[in-house]
Structure 1
Amino acid sequence: MTTTPPPWLDTTEYPFTPRFFDLEEGRMHYIDEGKGRPIVFVHGTPTWSFEWRHLVKALSSQYRCLAPDHLGFGLSDKPTGIDYRPEAHARRFAIWLESLSLDGITFVLHDFGGPIGLAYGFEHIQNVRSVIALNSWLWNPREEKSLAGGARLLANPFGRFLYERVNFEIKVILPAAYGNKRKLTPAVYRHYLAPFDMPPSRASLFALLCSLLDSSEWFGELWNRRDALDSKPLLLVWGDSDPVFGLKALHRWRDAFPHAESHTIPNAGHWCHEEEPEQVLSIIAAFLART
């Protein structure tokens, strides 16, 4: 088993010890930095734990920060022919997390990381201390025009060609989701391109796109369990220029969870923690100190 970082990885930018957990379908990479009460960061698509580097570097001086790469993403294995639907990611995530025997977890969730992380959270609500959501969702995607419309357009053989052969999600969708395109520097962009360098490695990306339609009932069932969060501190941090999960999605979270604390990050897009890391860190650090 090799733990040598790939040559494209800037270990100054991402200075974390690689760790691996063996699943039936392959090795899951994760980082585990610092000591103290646990914070578990859960990424979405088409990214990996690299997106959490600013927060982990800052918060690991006080907290134990853990962040996995889902199978098919980042430094984890990318086996062909396995189930890459979000419910499968959630199952594997739960196996990994249960192996660590953590209590009092704060979840930091982005994009698909919201439903994947909360699938565990709802089953083990006694282990959840608080939840932080950044530009994510939890409800049936068919109820969200920006999600369902794009999925209907691309969940077909031509869409598979775009995703797997053209690398459409990373070359087109990811840059378009930034509020300030200049924040996606060539050095950062390289770290999102490199894990998906060949068409077979992009199967996980297309599977999550299709899941917006095919797994809609699974998402809806999670939303129906949302009352479990009523007794948990909840922080919403939102890039207000996100073309997918914009302010409409934030308002839906607020309506469902009136007790939630919420902050918008002006002019930031889908990855507000990439575009404005210091601002997001300040908000999260203050929330953690209070809860």
Structure 2
Amino acid sequence: MPSEFTPDPQLYPFTSRWFDSSRGRVHYIDEGTGPVIVFFHGNPTWSFLYRNIIAALRDRFRCIAPDYLGFGLSERPSGFGYRIEEHASVIGEFVDHLELDQYLSMGQDWGGPISMAVGTDRAERVRGVVLGNTWFWPTADLPTKMFSAVMGSPPMQWAITQRNFFVERLIPAGTATRLDEAVMVHYRGVQPSPRDRAGVARMPKEILAARPLLERLADDVPAKLGSKPALLVWGMKDFAFRPGPNLPRMRAAFGDHVVVELPNASHFIQEDAPGQIAEAIINRFG
């Protein structure tokens, strides 16, 4: 079943659209005209995360933002494993269905590896890359490995599914600005029951479990997308993807890159600095 949540049209002033993938029904928005940019969300968010960026860009870009299966308004299909490989396969189908060519992609958090998995398989159709507070290589640092192991443990899996831990605790912890209650309702409302949170619960396990995919991307992204124009927008207050260890590796992957530091933004850069991000995209790709 897709989520039955109805977004507030004041906060999410977009038309809902649907794509019947081979694995389940994908919700997405497709707004504006011009060069195509596809937005890839992470965990535990959905296309709502990009609402302010899309509102700022849709007068000059065609902005497309899907919700992965198990997230946002998309279906929670039985038999879907919610592995990163599976998400990338479904969104790849979606990109092919829309016949997107010369598209830009933006990925943050798990949207980085997913957008890069989709993009490396379709490199000739990718015009450019936007990445922020993300990664696409196997995790080497101990704190991230510990995060994956702890969040994958039975007590924390219970907290994620039964208490909505990721939404209630990690979204506020990952934003430098205090989100108002109406915004939190939109993150909370799309996953009202424990069953709705299976996708959210799976993603932290994937930091370690998706190692084969991440090993492949570590080679494929520089080889297949490294010559594309890239924009790196980075929240400098992020506790998860600190600029020191991560930005140099991002810079090294893309020969033609521009870095825009977001000094007051934390992990969820789309909430903390949507105007700066939209301006950076216009300056780089408009």
Q: Same fold (TM over 0.5)?
A: yes
Over 3 Å counting, the alpha-carbon distance change for 1:108 and 1:138 in structure 2 is same
Report Cα offsets for 1:46-87 as digits up to 9, x if no partner.
000001111111211112111100000001012244110110
The TM-score with structure 1 as length reference comes to: 0.93
Partner residue of 1:223? 218
Q: Is the 8 A contact 1:21 1:27 kept in 2?
A: yes
Measure the CA separation in 1 of the matches of 2:262 and 2:24. 37
Indicate the SS of the match to 2:77. Answer: coil
Q: Does the 8 Å CA contact 2:20/2:26 hold for their aligned counterparts?
A: yes
Q: Tell me if structure 2 keeps the 8 A contact 1:80–1:203.
A: no
Cα distance in 2 for partners of 1:2, 1:138 equals 29
1:282 aligns with 2:279: yes
- C-alpha distance after superposition, 1:168-217 (max 9, x if no partner): 1111112111123x2x1111111111111100111101111111111112
Residue 2 of structure 2 is aligned to residue 6 of structure 1:
no
> Is 1:214 matched up with 2:209?
yes
Ranges in structure 1 where 5+ consecutive residues have no aligned partner: none
Please give the alpha-carbon distance, in whole angstroms, between the structure 2 residues aligned to 1:151 and 1:138.
15
1:255 Cα offset (Å) = 3.1
SS in 2 for 1:231: coil
Q: Report what 1:70 is aligned to.
A: 68
Gap regions ≥5 residues in structure 2: none
Query: How far apart in 2 are the matches of 1:193 and 1:119?
Result: 28
Report the Cα distance in structure 2 between the residues aligned to 1:139 and 1:283, rounded to whole angstroms.
Answer: 25
Out of 192, 199, 206, the position equivalent to 1:197 is 192
Question: Is 1:155 aligned to 2:152, yes or no?
Answer: yes
Aligned match for 1:92, one of 90, 93, 108: 90
Paired position in structure 1 for 2:80: 82
Tell me whether 246-255 or 197-206 shows the greater mean CA deviation. 246-255
**How many pairs were matched up?**
284
Aligned to 2:130: 132
Please give the root-mean-square deviation of Cα atoms over the aligned residues, in Å. 1.7
- SS of residue matched to 2:63: strand
CA distance in 2, matches of 1:279, 1:231: 25
Q: CA deviation at 1:277?
A: 1.6
Residue 238 of structure 1 and its aligned partner are, at CA, apart by 0.5
List per-residue Cα deviations over 1:214-240 (Å, max 9, x = no partner). 111211111111222221000000000
The SS at the match of 2:190 is helix
Counterpart for residue 242 of structure 1 = 238
Task: Please name the residue that 1:107 is paired with.
Answer: 105
**Partner amino acid for 2:233?**
V
CA contact (8 A) 1:14 1:50 kept: yes
Instruction: Give the ranges of 4+ consecutive aligned residues of structure 1 lying more than 6 Å apart after TM superposition.
Output: none
Q: Contact 1:80/1:200 (CA < 8 Å) preserved in 2? A: no
> What is the one-letter code of the residue matched to 1:265?
L
1:188 is aligned to: 183
TM-score, normalisation: structure 2: 0.94
* 2:21 match: 23
Identity of aligned residues (%): 37
